Structures are given as structure tokens and as C-alpha cells.
């Protein structure tokens, strides 16, 4: 497929098939005396239909375990991942199921819903910006496979905490990669071989390298390298390198896209963004409590005694916005040098939502600070 060429338009076939299979499965169970209420089945079909419609307002936290797998299957169909890999859909389904099951449900944030959330966001981003038509099928497949497995076996803690414990992941880590990301990448490679029968290859290496890019310690290195390569790409031929998963530029774009999906929860509607915030800080504070109990000093964001979630959220959103601003700048540059089909404006809704949510969190932070100041004045006047 040539760059900019229309690929086969996503349609509702996969979603319809899912719903038909669910109805057939339910009917069979009922005839066997195992019938159950039909409401959960209808919800599963609805979740799959919702996933089939590009939306930045998706709420993965509301899905059941069955619904999560249906959504991932629908997303994979939209990107034609199985076709790109030339693997049976059943193998891809098994890979996705393994990835979900390897996300500990006890993790408030790094659990199965996080996988669905970032993949739904990424597929929406690709479709809204036209990247789904510009990127090669192999590129889309690498991004999807990496996104599904980027946090498998997550401990719900930071790399720094794992290092302090002398965790097994630290001993097994590849050079220059955080222990959590190194472990997840190695598990992803094993699952690709086991479920999709993909041996050691450039594609598998690209999946691992993309997962490595989610290591926060490497963030600045990646964005600086991407900025340099983007500014040097002055022709359509130079831009072409970004659309190959095997090139250095393509690897940077894969890492930046997965990074964008990984931190996309504040781009959701405010109520959903706040719900994700609650999950994040449950994990942060649980780690901070463990550090305190061991006599250590927690990361300021992990210290429930002093951290202000609304205030911290504003700073995080500003950091997230810089990633999406860079992506939009890249898309604008690509269109200027002649890449057809791209829509940089597809990121406008994301950037606007970030501004709206930042303003809301800033207002909440100001109110909390004012209330705190008022309480201190009252304590002074009361002689306490």
C-alpha cells in the first residue's frame, strides 16, 4: 500500500459478528439449561460498538473483563492487525487475552482497564489524524502489539521502588532500560512467539523497542531525538523514514505514539479523567506508604500527607500537552512537505480537552488552598 492511499475502510462487520456470536452462545447456553440474564451480553455488544466508533470520550473503567476483550478484538479488526501479520485471528485473540490476564487486577491503575484505555485512544488518534491511512500495516501492527503488552506483569510500583527492593526484574533488566519496561518487553516477545508464532525478527524487535520507550527515565532522550529528526526532515523523502518501523525515525515515532497513549487519561472527559486520577494516586500513595514505613522519604507525588492531587494534576497535564503538541507539529510538517491524507486538526479536541481539564483542576487547587489558608487563620484566632 502506498503512503497516503486509502486502505480498506473499517466497517461494522467484526462488531456484528461479535454480537451474533454472543447471541448464539447465549441461546446455546439457555437450551443447555445454563441461560443467564441477557443484559450483560447486550452491554458487551454495546461496548464493542462503542469501540468501533472513534471517540476521545471512551471510558474503559466502566467495562467488565468480558467486555474488555471484545473491545480489544474490535480495535484489532479496525487496524487489520491479523491481516498485517498474516496470522489467524484466533492467535491474535489469544495474545490479547494473555496480555489482559497478565495485568494484575489488584493494581488500581496498571490493571487490565489501562490496556484497553490506551489502545482505544491510540486507534482513535490514528483515525482522527489520518495516520491509519498513512502508516504501513506493519507499523500499525507493531504499535498495537506493543500497546497491548507494554505493562504486562506490572508490579504497581515505580522502577525506583523495584531497585530499592532488589526485585527480580532489576536483576533481569536489559542494559539501559528500566526493570519494569525490560520485563514487559521480554514477556511480549515470548507471547508473540507462543501465540502468534513470530520468531525473533525485526518486527518483534520493534515491538520490544517500542515498549522500552515507555520508560520515563528515557523520556527526554526520546523527545529530543524526535525533535531533531523532525526538524531535519525537510522533504517528503526525508519524512518517509518516519513511517518505517525498522528505521531509527520510525522507532522514535512508535515510541512517541505509545507514550502519548500511555499518558492519555487526562485527555478524557473530566469525570473520566478524575476517575483515572483516583486510580493513579491509589498506586502512588500505596508505594509512598511502604517507603515511609521502611523509614524512607517518598517521592513528593507519592506522599499522601503533603501532595495536592489537583495541583499535581495541572503540572502533569502541562507535561502531557507537550507530547501532543509535538505530535501535531510533526503532522503539520508532514502535510507541508506533501504527505496527503493527514489531518493535524484531529488532535485539536485532545489539546482543547487538556486545557479544559487543567483549568478545572487549577480552580479546584485554588479553592483547596484558600480553604486551607482560611482554616489556618481560624486556628490562629482560636488560639490553637
For residue 151, say whether it is annotated as part of any ligand binding site.
yes
Q: Are 59 and 112 in contact (CB under 8 A)?
A: no
Residue 232, class by beta-carbon neighbours within 10 Å (0-12 exposed, 13-18 middle, 19+ buried)? exposed
Nearest to 77 by CA among 49, 99, 102: 49
Q: How far is CA 95 from CA 13, 72, 91, 261, in A?
A: 21, 11, 6, 20
Q: Are 111 and 151 in contact (CB under 8 A)?
A: no
Q: How far apart are CA 212 and CA 149, in angstroms?
A: 11
Considering 11, 28, 70, 110, which one is annotated as catalytic?
110
For this structure, is 110 an active site residue?
yes
What letters, b where the CB count within 10 A reaches 16 and e where it falls short, cover 16-30? eebbeebeeebeeee
Q: How far apart are CA 128 and CA 248, in angstroms?
A: 25
Interacting residues of 178 by C-beta distance below 8 A, sequence separation 6+? 159, 215, 216, 217, 218
For residue 289, say whether it is annotated as part of any ligand binding site.
no
For residue 150, say whether it is annotated as part of any ligand binding site.
yes
Q: Are 268 and 58 in contact (CB under 8 A)?
A: yes
Q: Are 106 and 156 in contact (CB under 8 A)?
A: yes
Q: Write out the catalytic residue numbers.
A: 110
- Binding site for Zn(2+), by residue number, is 114, 150-151, 262
Amino acid at each position: 500500500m502506498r503512503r497516503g492511499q486509502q486502505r480498506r475502510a473499517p466497517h461494522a462487520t467484526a462488531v456484528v459478528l461479535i454480537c451474533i456470536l454472543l447471541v448464539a452462545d447465549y441461546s446455546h447456553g439457555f437450551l443447555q439449561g445454563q441461560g443467564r440474564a441477557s443484559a450483560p451480553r447486550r452491554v458487551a455488544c454495546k461496548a464493542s460498538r462503542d469501540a468501533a466508533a472513534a471517540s476521545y470520550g471512551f471510558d474503559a473503567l466502566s467495562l467488565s473483563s468480558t467486555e474488555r476483550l471484545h473491545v480489544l478484538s474490535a480495535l484489532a479488526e479496525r487496524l487489520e492487525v491479523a491481516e498485517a501479520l498474516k496470522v489467524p485471528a484466533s492467535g491474535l485473540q489469544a495474545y490479547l487475552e494473555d496480555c489482559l490476564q497478565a495485568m494484575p487486577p489488584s493494581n488500581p491503575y496498571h490493571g487490565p482497564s489501562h490496556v484497553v484505555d490506551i489502545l482505544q485512544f491510540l486507534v482513535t488518534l490514528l483515525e482522527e489524524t489520518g495516520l491509519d491511512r498513512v502508516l504501513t500495516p506493519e507499523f500499525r501492527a507493531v504499535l498495537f502489539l506493543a500497546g497491548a503488552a507494554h505493562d504486562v506483569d506490572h508490579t504497581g510500583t515505580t522502577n525506583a521502588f523495584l531497585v530499592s527492593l532488589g526485585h527480580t526484574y532489576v536483576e533481569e533488566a536489559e542494559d539501559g532500560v528500566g526493570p519494569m519496561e525490560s520485563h514487559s518487553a521480554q514477556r511480549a516477545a515470548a507471547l508473540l512467539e507462543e501465540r502468534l508464532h513470530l520468531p525473533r525478527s525485526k518486527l518483534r524487535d520493534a515491538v520490544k523497542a517500542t515498549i522500552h520507550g515507555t520508560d520515563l527515565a528515557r523520556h527526554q532522550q526520546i523527545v529530543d531525538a524526535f525533535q531533531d529528526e523532525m526538524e531535519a526532515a525537510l522533504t517528503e523523502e526525508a519524512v518517509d523514514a518516519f513511517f518505517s518501523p525498522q528505521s531509527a525515525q520510525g522507532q522514535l515515532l512508535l515510541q512517541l505514539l505509545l507514550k502519548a497513549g500511555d499518558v492519555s487519561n487526562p485527555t478524557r472527559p473530566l469525570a473520566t479523567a478524575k476517575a483515572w486520577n483516583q486510580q493513579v494516586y491509589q498506586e502512588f500513595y500505596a508505594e509512598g506508604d511502604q517507603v515511609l514505613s521502611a523509614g524512607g522519604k517518598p517521592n513528593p507525588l507519592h506522599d499522601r500527607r503533603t501532595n495536592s492531587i489537583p495541583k499535581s494534576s495541572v503540572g502533569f497535564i502541562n507535561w502531557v500537552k507537550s507530547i501532543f503538541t509535538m505530535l501535531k507539529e510533526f503532522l503539520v510538517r508532514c502535510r507541508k512537505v506533501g504527505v496527503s491524507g493527514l489531518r493535524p486538526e484531529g488532535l485539536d479536541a485532545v489539546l482543547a480537552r487538556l486545557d479544559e481539564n487543567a483549568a478545572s483542576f487549577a480552580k479546584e487547587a485554588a479553592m483547596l488552598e484558600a480553604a486551607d489558608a482560611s482554616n489556618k487563620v481560624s486556628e490562629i484566632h482560636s488560639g490553637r
